[in-house]
Structure 1
Amino acid sequence: MPIAAPDRRLGERVGAYLDTLTKPPGSLGRLERLAVDLAAMTGEPFPRVTPPGVLVFAADHGIADEGVSAFPREVTAQMVTNFVAGGAAINVFARRIGARLEVIDVGVASEVAGQGVVDEKVRPGTANFARRDAMSRAEAEAAIEAGRRAAGRAAAAGCRCLIIGEMGIANTTASSAVLAVLTGEPVARLVGRGTGIDDARLAHKREVIERAIAARGADPGDPLGVLAALGGLEIAAMTGACLEAAVRRVPLLVDGFIATLAALVACRLAPGARDYLIFGHRSREPGHDVVLAVLDAQPLLDLDLRLGEGTGAALAFPLLDAACRMLAEMASFTTAGVAGGDQT
């Protein structure tokens, strides 16, 4: 797909301009790097990221039947209802940053479509990938396209930065399985407690994933095939959102482990997508450290979060807005009548 490279020359000019502002060069650290990156991504010398658009994709996982989660599968649909009612953490944080929030059903097992939910259901949950492929390649492609459409709607509505999040009981299991195949890392290094399982269930979760990977035999050189064999519909949809944001040169702020795994799949499908991704936070899931390292990503926050929904990315968003406002609103040494430092 046609993903243009960021405008690095513009980024260099913005970096030089930052050094004329009333501060020691580089003194605002990573905030300055953010400003440069956002300018290069958007092609705008004074980029803007407001308003943001939050996309929460929801789907169920057949692997939940193996007892790998602390919560029953029904919670997925119940949380979608909570999102629509405005009572979830992502609702609180999205309101705080003035975001447009869309909830998209790409695979909830029960019927939740109605006012406030976008119906993009590909199928009612994935199959139990311990027994057969989670979905077909065509279904994975359909979920990716659903994510692309969601990103397109947000961009058409005027959103200048996208945030991806998810809801799906057992999706840390699917994400760990996909990551293990794509990276070759041992399952034990990747699998965490998800929603809060105990030691016995953690050991069981690892065993289920190892057995499923062996049974599916997915090819790590075929990221779409890995996604279809072991992934989730909401993971595929977030992959599509990453791809569409890159095509449109819209910065995309990635949430935690599951969203970052989706970003990795997007980058394996289209390496140019990496240039348009910013990583919001480091979660407590052990696999998140691994996938961040693979993507050479340094997240903005580290708050011991492990909720998902897009919450960590929404909390990080004000840093992007601050970077843009710093660039646009700070006075230069010349306009402020302030003597510059000795640059020799």
Structure 2
Amino acid sequence: MAKNARVFQPPSLADLYRKHESLRVWRVKSLKRHHEKSRRLRQRRNFKRYRIRIIARLPGVTVWSIDADALREGLEKGDVDFTMGGHGYTHLYIPPNEIWIANDLRRRSVVPTIWHEYFERLLMRGGMHYNTAHSLASRLEITHREGTYFVLPVGTHHQREDGFCLPATLKIYLSYLGRNFSEGHLARLCKTTVENGTDPINVVTAVRRLGFRVQHRGRPLMLREIQRYCSAAGAKGKERKELTNQVRRQAGTVRVHQAWTAAEVKKSLKKGRPVLANIQLSREYKSGHYLVVIGYTSNTFVVSDPNDDNGYREIPIPEFMKLWYELEDGTVREGFTISS
């Protein structure tokens, strides 16, 4: 289209854009001011009547299918936000904890659109300018539309030193939930040390102290698994026997008894819940590591790894499942999901 292109607009709508320019996202000076403006608008009109049904629940957000035709008919009543496009305007009538999806949206566009809106809102809530937030959310949307990957909008953070993978991973996870904590603060809450890392039970305690809910799953290593993994770690003779007994004692203290499966990880991701996993980086003893599973393809898991220079990497699912145990903690397929 030419640089100076024009488009027809009915006289009755000619001045509409200018009159309502104050509703544009970048005109909202603060989230507090926006929420107050939104509250007043919703008090005047019952926009909730456009809801049809709940189609998804994401962390802190309910996604509704709405009657798009009925909503568009509200133009003459001042409902300009929806008619002029949700991306350039703030949906003042939508409660902050909801996302509305038009019921006439093509089925294949629903999931990419939901994640675009969710991520965009998350970024703007953190103070990001709309233009930047929209650009990043669009990248996520394109990934979902292409169809090879399902991936959540989870960031990265590089751990500051050895043994601090858990606080770094926890920082990544809680940032996804819209809460920002320093790695040092989380390390203190989790009683993390360079020498011993983090005890899994301290993860549960720390997360609950911060006001979140946590689901902790996994199971103890069984004797035959302990023997096999200690052998794979290179221990021989007396050393192997001592290591086996040490891991066996630790496994006896494990309080969870339901391990994750690959299918359950994918199901959790579809619900918007990453899985914080406690795995082995290698077969060697003392090579346990925490990372966040944030997405998948047909044969790989996508992870946010605080020990990886690129932040993200892909691991073949069979390889990941084989390394999803932890000798020091005596656990198999141990992981956490966190929610507000």
TM range (shorter): under 0.3
User: Per residue, is there more strand in 1 or in 2?
Assistant: 2
Higher relative contact order (CA 8 A, sep 6+): 1
User: Per residue, is there more helix in 1 or in 2?
Assistant: 1
